[in-house]
Amino acid sequence: MRKGLKVVAFIIDVAFMPIRALIGLEVVITAAILNDVSVKEALKNYAGEIVNYPNQLKEGYEVIFGEGIGL
């Protein structure tokens, strides 16, 4: 039962990632404007985080389920 809930939560996390990315994009742009930081530089940093997401997802899977993915 518990492992099933973990799988459902993991799938929901992956499914809603694009929506979270769009909301995060809004937050990054707004924070850059309010803090007088270069929006271009803030977007570069945010893009780096988005590119790193699959690696974080793989590490999270191994931590949550205690086993390798086998990819």
Residue 53 near residue 60, CB atoms below 8 Å: no
58-70 pLDDT, tens per residue? 888 888 887 655 4
Tell me how far the alpha carbon of residue 71 is from its chain's centroid. Answer: 20
Per-residue model confidence (pLDDT) at position 41: 94
User: Quick one: residue 37, left, alpha or beta (phi over 0 = left, psi -120 to 50 = alpha)?
Assistant: beta
Per-residue model confidence (pLDDT) at position 60: 83
17-71 pLDDT, tens per residue? 889 999 999 999 999 999 999 999 999 999 998 899 888 888 888 888 876 554 4
* 49 contacts: CB under 8 Å, gap ≥ 6: none
pTM score, two decimals? 0.66
